[in-house]
Structures are given as C-alpha cells and as structure tokens.
Amino acid sequence: IEKLYSQGIPNHGPTQTKSIDEILKEIEQEAGLHAQNNILPLEEQLSFSDTLTYSHSQAQDITNPSILPPLNSLQEQLSLSDTLTFSHSQAQNSTFPILQIIPILEPTKGGYSMTEEPEIVLEFYDESQALQLELNDIELILNLVESAGEPTQDSPNSLGLITDFIGILLFKIPSVDAAKPENLKDTKDIAKDNKSSDKAKIKQLKNEIKQLKQDKTLSTDEIKDLKSKLKILALQLKETKQNAKLNSEITKIEKLANEFKETQKDNWNGNKETITAEIFDSKNNKVNLAVEFVKQREGKFNIKIDPLNAKPGIYKIKTILNVNGNQFVSESQFAWGLVSVNSMKSIYKPTETAKFEIVILNATGNPVCPANVLMQIIAPNLQSTTLSSNDIVEDSCGLYTADYPTSVTGNYTINVQADTGNGIANFETYFTVLDKYDYDIIRYTPSKIDPFTEPNDFDVEIDITSFVGNNELTIRDYVPSSFNIFNTDATVETIGNQKVITWHKTPKDGFVDTLVYSYSVPLITPELYPLGKITIDQSGIPTFTEARNWFVAVDPQFLVSTDVSTIDDKWQNSNKRIVAINSTHLYSFYLDGASDLHYDSSTNGGYTWTTGADLYSPDTGISYNGMGVWYEPSTPGRTNKVIHIAAFDSG
C-alpha cells in the first residue's frame, strides 16, 4: 500500500494518517482507472473501516526495490481486521442489457409411445441471451486466471495496480523469519519473462471480447472461436502454471471450452439456477417417475422422463425454476401411449401390403370408440398417402385396422392423428421396406385384451423365415417381468424388469418354425405393455433385431362415448361390462340367462367374484337385448364416482 501511495502526489506531508478509502480514491484519480476501464468507483467495490498509519519517509524509500524494508516491518504497520469485499460482477465492463427471463416448457413432439422417454424442453434464455452469458463466462474466467497468476503491469495506469493491491490485502504477509529474496528485481523480471506469452494471449482474448461487446451482436461461430482459443490457452498455462490456484482455473477453462452436456438426476442444482420437476396424471395426481436433466446450453434443458411404471394417458409436467433470485413456475402437457400402431411384420418387401392395428386411448388410458382417425404415410420418395375413416376399420372399441400397399424400398413415416375426446393425439412412427433382409418375422397376437371378461390366457404365435445360413438360431422374445409365461417349449428367465423367452431352432428350407407361448397379465387397468423386440443370433451373422415393438393394451372398461344404439352390434350382446373402481375393486354387469340385468363384484382384482343381485327384472314377456355401462371418472373432467347403466328391449 505504501508503494502504491508513494507513486501518487508528492506533497502528502512527512507523516499522515488517512483512511484506506481516502488512499484508494487518490490512487484511482491518479491512475485514471475509472476513465480508462469504465468500471464502478473503487470505493463502491471495496469496503474498509480500518485506517492505515504509515511513514511517508518509508514510502519514499520503498520506491527503490533494492532497499525494500523487511516485510515484517510492513506487517507491523498494517492492522486490518475487516474483510475485503470485492464484487466481480460490479467490476465487469458489460455493455449487454439485463437478460429478461421468459420460461418456455414444451414437449419435443405431439405424443410418445410407452417405450419412449418423453423429452420436455425448458428454455428460459433464447439463443442470443445464451451467447451473451457464455461471453461473460469467458471474460470472467480470463479475469480469474489473470488474478490467480498475479500478472504485473508496467504502466501505473493499468489494472495491475488494483490486482497488486488486492493481492497484498488478501494473502497472508510472511512472518519476520521468512526467507527474503536476494534480488527482488531479478526474480520479478524472470516471472515476467515466463508469463509474457500467457499474458499476451489473455490480453488478446480480452480485447476480442471487448470488441464483441461493442458490436452488441454475437454468433455461435464467434463463441466457438473464442472457446478454441481458450483450449490453446489452457495448454500454455499448464506448462507455465505457478500455483495451485492457477491450476484450478485451468480446470475451469477446460470445462468451459469443451462444452460437454452435463446431466443430473431428479433435480437440477447448478451454479446459476435450480430446477425441480413434478409429473401429474390426468386426474392431477402426482406420480413418481424418474426424471433426468440434460443441460443443452445456458438457459436450455432437456427433461427426460423414465417410462418405467408409466401408464398410458395425458400427463402434466410442472417445473419450478429459481434463477437470479426469482422463481418461475411453468406447466405443459404431453400424451403418452394414447396412440399405438402395430405392424404385422417387422420388415416388408416391395409391393407387399403392410397391415396395421391401431389402438386409440383417451386421457385416462381407456379405449375410444368411435374415434376420428387420420393416418398419413410418407414413402421414401416423399409420396404422401392419407388414410381416413373410409380406409380405417373399427374392429372393436378402441381398436382399428388399416392396409397400405408398399412400393419403393426405404423407411416409410407414419403420422397418426386421433380425436381422443380430450383433444387431438399425435403419434409418429415408421416401418421399413427392403429388397433383401435376413429374417421375416410375423407376429399374431391381439393388440387389445380384456383379462376380466375373458380368460387371462392370451396366445402369441410368431412365424420366422430365414434368408441367410442354415445354422442353429437363438431366438429371443421379451415381455414385461410381471407376465406369467406358459404353454411353450422355450426357456424363460427373468432379467431385470423383463422376462426373456428363448428358443433354439434350425431352419428347414428357410422356414424356421412357428414359435408359441401364452401369457397372463396382472389385473390392473389401464395398461399398455410392449412385446419384443425379437432378436435372432446365428453363428457368423450379425445379430438381427426386430424393427418394432408390438403393443398390447389392457382395458376391459367399456366407455359410453355415443348414445346407446339398437343397431350397432357392440351394444347387442350380453358380454360382461367390467368397471374397475381401482386395481382391486371391480363390478361386472351383464344380462343373465333370464335376460335380467345382473351384477357381480370382486375385491381382489378379479381373481374371485362374489355373486351380486339382479338390478332390474323386466315385466313378463319383455327381454333385454343389450346394454351399456359408463363409469363417470373414466371420462376426463368427471369426478363423481357413479356408474351409469343403460339397457334396451325389443320395443
């Protein structure tokens, strides 16, 4: 401090007592720092309450480094008990405006299959704002490196005065018996020589940043160019690093320059912001699903949601963002498993007819009937074909079929739009057409099942033809671990959350075999389960993987989405209508042999049933021909736990 002050006005008097704030003000005025560097006045950045008493004669002597007084005498003259507070953000010469935060939360696409991880994008800084922040980060790291390396400046009007001054106050002054340098001037010159190249590089980068700020326009390429130069600087600093603190800053440079995408589980806790995410089902119940945050850049995150334990339906995601001392809450919706498309074959050959089964569910995961469905298929040559209600057949409630004649080879894109009663659900998938491929796989099994009114025993048949080799094949199919597997000659083992069904078969004239197994499912509704993808291994041939999963919807609930009709076949039968109040309590409604409207109940998920009673017996000579059942909570927005029953007779 004496050295700094001695460089100022010579008429200070022989001995004076001044506050440090007064000394700083004089230094600032004499060095012209405020005008040259356009930073805030130093007294606003540095806070002291102690005063400094010093000898002016010593201050004059100290201007000659060769007669530097013992450091312990300087220590004896300085008495500082307060803490130095330096705000780097105040010192930055930023010409950019304060960034406005407007969070946007959107899914990456209209709908997801049950095997997909929904990705929701949270963006609260746009691309331009993110580039500004990155530029400020680069400037900050350069200042930290400059400070850590203790660079010196030849000119008394440079920022080096302040850096040296802060260094005196922040670092412990050596004790009286510390080793003294034999020649301080020589040591200082050597340090300057070792650091000159690094200092020049830092100065060059800071000048580039200053110019970019003056231009007030930034591009991604300009930031990439700066980061490339940062990498080179980091390599140079590794060769000339002087202390552990500089080594720490080198690590920060490498992290900033390499642009890797950081990920965190469950919540995001960053240096600049924190984010939490909550997931809710269509009834606004919070669901426990694992989430992962992936930082794309400053102010932009992808939030991935694990499909394990998810059910089909409409979901809401709520994010809570804390940044710059403010909190922002955002919400968005996404559809999960409302539309699924099964292709009868994994791969088709040109001119073959592709056959599809489509399942349409509503926000609560229940089948929709009738549904307005549009299916657009875009061929590899970009020729587009749209299938509408005239081309798509309703096989049963929520289940629809469609055919499409293939032509050229390549990937065909499928876009499905369906009115689910809660809005339009969108789903995108694809299928493949090739001239040659290793194996033909055709799967025969229902796309929608009812384990409550039908035996909980569903068959799967898989025809496999080999076009390569005649060696033994190892064929594996995959189902959820909650399935029970029986009626098969395959081996079955549980690995993680899957059951693996394995056959060993040898092709005969290309045809392998018809592989069979049966399965039962937990009596839980609604659910959408994936089967597959089948894999085939043969010695000397790469593993073949089925192109698509096959999806099975479990949903026995019969929803009334239109008026009961005496014409539509779906009303004119006495099959049981099951209403699931929850996963354990079920009611079954049906017409018995006497045409009476009857119900039974179950309290264990349908494993056993208790006989109920007749709800209504028609007058003599009147028999019921059909009925419909509707449970209000199965319709989104309805919360009354009421079961509605409609029955009609021949009159």
Report which of residues 563 and 348 the model is more confident about: 348
Among 275, 296, 328, the domain-final residue is 328
Q: What's 331-392 look like in SS3? A: EEEEEECCEEEEECECEECCCCEEEEEEEEECCCCCECCCCCEEEEEECCCCCEEEECCCCC
Q: Please tell me whether residues 317 and 359 are part of one structural domain.
A: no
491-512 mean pLDDT: 94
427-452 mean pLDDT: 91
Cβ atoms of 474 and 500 closer than 8 Å: no
465-491 mean pLDDT: 94
Q: Does residue 174 belong to any structural domain of this protein?
A: no
The long-range contacts involving 568-576, CB below 8 angstroms and separated by at least 24 positions, are: 570/369, 570/396, 570/397, 571/626, 571/627, 571/628, 571/648, 572/625, 572/626, 573/626, 574/626, 574/627, 575/453, 576/452, 576/453
Q: Does residue 164 belong to any structural domain of this protein?
A: no
Q: Please tell me whether residues 140 and 278 are part of one structural domain.
A: yes
Among 76, 91, 106, the domain-final residue is 91
Mean pLDDT of the chain, nearest integer: 76
Neighbour-count burial for 435-471, b at 16+ CB within 10 Å, e otherwise: eebbbbbebebbbbbbbbeeebebebebebebebeee
Q: Please tell me whether residues 5 and 73 are part of one structural domain.
A: yes
Q: What's the pLDDT band for 407 if we cut at 50, 70, 90?
A: very high
Q: Does residue 248 belong to any structural domain of this protein?
A: yes
DSSP 125-183: S-HHHHHHHHHHHHHHHHHHHHHHT----SSTTSTHHHHHHHHHHHSPPP-TTSPPPS-
Q: Please tell me whether residues 193 and 272 are part of one structural domain.
A: yes
DSSP 556-574: -B----S---SSSGGGSS-
Q: Rounded CA gap, 466 and 468, in Å?
A: 6
348-365 mean pLDDT: 90
Q: Please tell me whether residues 220 and 108 are part of one structural domain.
A: yes
Q: Does residue 162 belong to any structural domain of this protein?
A: no
Q: Please tell me whether residues 518 and 453 are part of one structural domain.
A: yes
pLDDT(528) > 70: yes
**pLDDT, tens digit (0-9, with 9 covering 90-100), for 173-206:** 344 444 444 454 444 444 454 456 777 788 888 8
Amino acid present at 164: D
Q: Please tell me whether residues 474 and 517 are part of one structural domain.
A: yes
Q: Rounded CA gap, 195 and 178, in Å?
A: 25
Report which of residues 47 and 380 the model is more confident about: 380
pLDDT(555) > 60: yes
Q: Does residue 175 belong to any structural domain of this protein?
A: no
Q: Please tell me whether residues 239 and 265 are part of one structural domain.
A: yes
Q: Does residue 173 belong to any structural domain of this protein?
A: no
- Looking at the structure of the chain, the number of domains it has is 5
Q: Does residue 305 belong to any structural domain of this protein?
A: yes
Amino acid present at 256: L
For 62-66, 208-212, 587-591, which range has the lowest pLDDT when averaged over its residues? 62-66
**pLDDT, tens digit (0-9, with 9 covering 90-100), for 242-280:** 555 667 677 777 777 676 678 999 999 988 899 999 999
366-384 mean pLDDT: 90
> 408 lies in which domain range?
337-424
Q: Please tell me whether residues 393 and 522 are part of one structural domain.
A: no
**pLDDT, tens digit (0-9, with 9 covering 90-100), for 100-140:** 888 999 999 878 988 889 999 999 998 888 888 888 888 88
Q: Please tell me whether residues 115 and 50 are part of one structural domain.
A: no
pLDDT(333) > 50: yes
pLDDT(222) > 80: yes
Q: Rounded CA gap, 618 and 34, in Å?
A: 98
Q: What's the pLDDT band for 150 if we cut at 50, 70, 90?
A: low
Q: What's the pLDDT band for 326 if we cut at 50, 70, 90?
A: very high
pLDDT(431) > 70: yes
Report which of residues 380 and 582 the model is more confident about: 380
Q: Between the ranges 216-220, 289-293, 448-452, where is the mean pLDDT highest?
A: 289-293
The long-range contacts involving 561-570, CB below 8 angstroms and separated by at least 24 positions, are: 561/368, 561/369, 561/370, 561/421, 562/369, 562/370, 564/626, 564/627, 564/628, 564/646, 564/648, 566/625, 566/626, 566/648, 570/369, 570/396, 570/397
pLDDT(483) > 70: yes
Q: Please tell me whether residues 472 and 613 are part of one structural domain.
A: no
CATH of residue 497's domain is 2.60.40.1510
pLDDT of residue 332: 94
Q: Rounded CA gap, 341 and 347, in Å?
A: 14
Q: What's the pLDDT band for 92 if we cut at 50, 70, 90?
A: very low
Token output for 130 = 């993110």
Token output for 579 = 């209403």
Report which of residues 43 and 227 the model is more confident about: 227
557-567 mean pLDDT: 45
pLDDT(614) > 70: yes
Residue among 431, 462, 404 at smallest CA distance from 342: 431
Q: How far is CA 448 from each of CA 173, 185, 257, 361, rounded to the nearest angstrom?
A: 79, 87, 52, 11
Q: What's 194-255 look like in SS3? A: HHHHHHHHHHHHHHHHHHHHHHCCCCHHHHHHHHHHHHHHHHHHHHHCCCHHHHHHHHHHHH
Sign of the Cα pseudo-torsion (304, 494, 545, 451, in order): negative
Among 72, 91, 110, the domain-final residue is 91
Cβ atoms of 45 and 90 closer than 8 Å: yes
**pLDDT, tens digit (0-9, with 9 covering 90-100), for 50-69:** 333 333 434 444 444 444 44
Q: Please tell me whether residues 188 and 125 are part of one structural domain.
A: yes
pLDDT(12) > 80: no
Q: Does residue 301 belong to any structural domain of this protein?
A: yes
pLDDT of residue 131: 83
pLDDT of residue 423: 75
CATH of residue 383's domain is 2.60.40.1930
Backbone angle region of 614, left / alpha / beta, with phi > 0 → left and psi within -120 to 50 → alpha: beta
pLDDT(148) > 70: no
Amino acid present at 139: E
